[in-house]
Amino acid sequence: MRLLTLTSSALSLLLLGGCGDFEMPKLPSLKKEEPAPLPEQTGPQVPLDATGGALDVPEQTVEVPAEEEVAPETVFTGTEQVIASLGDPAVPGLWMETSLVSSPQKARLRSANGSEVVVTLKPSPTGGSARVSIAAMRALGVPLTELVELQVRPAS
């Protein structure tokens, strides 16, 4: 077995020795080419159409908006019964999105089991049903996966 290994090793060396005249092909250079510099631009820029001709561009006018009308804020002062679902669980805090208000304000929520929690009422971006934070639903002891009836009252 050793003789066979030695013989095959010697034969391999002889074959490799005969390859002395073989040259490796030269690989192209991997240097990064610098982009050509942009020509310096002088004078006003004129937009061109698809054929390379100048476009007629009307002068732009800037409209100054008239005094904006501000919608009156809806302030929640009464007592309401709402059906609410779980809001975005990624948003922290004690809050409820509702169409009852147009700006954030404090309110007290009461569940059917008698639990209460003070939350921030936020205007609902969709105007649909009320959505309550996961922290508020846990504080009220209501199921997270169900629609719940809540009483909304001012926080004071």
How many residues appear in the chain? 156
Residue 95: is it exposed, middle or buried by C-beta count within 10 angstroms (0-12/13-18/19+)? Answer: buried
CA distance linking residue 138 with residue 141, whole number of Å: 5
Residue 63 pLDDT > 90, yes or no?
no
The whole-number pLDDT of residue 156 equals 75
The pLDDT of residue 77 is 77
For residues 152 and 121, the answer to whether their CB atoms sit within 8 Å is yes
Q: Which residue has the tokens 């009156």?
A: 72
Q: Which residue has the higher pLDDT, 7 or 129?
A: 129
**Per-residue confidence (pLDDT) for residue 133, from 0 to 100:** 95
Query: Token pair of 131, please?
Result: 């959505």
Percent of all residues in the chain with a pLDDT value above 90, rounded to a whole number: 39
pLDDT in tens, 72-130: 555 667 888 999 999 999 999 999 999 888 889 999 999 999 999 999 999 987 777 89
- How deeply is 22 buried, as exposed, middle or buried, from its count of CB atoms within 10 A (0-12, 13-18, 19+)? exposed
Q: Provide CB contacts within 8 A for 80, sequence distance 6+.
A: 100, 151, 152
Residue at token pair 């805090």: 93
Arithmetic mean of pLDDT, 131-148: 94
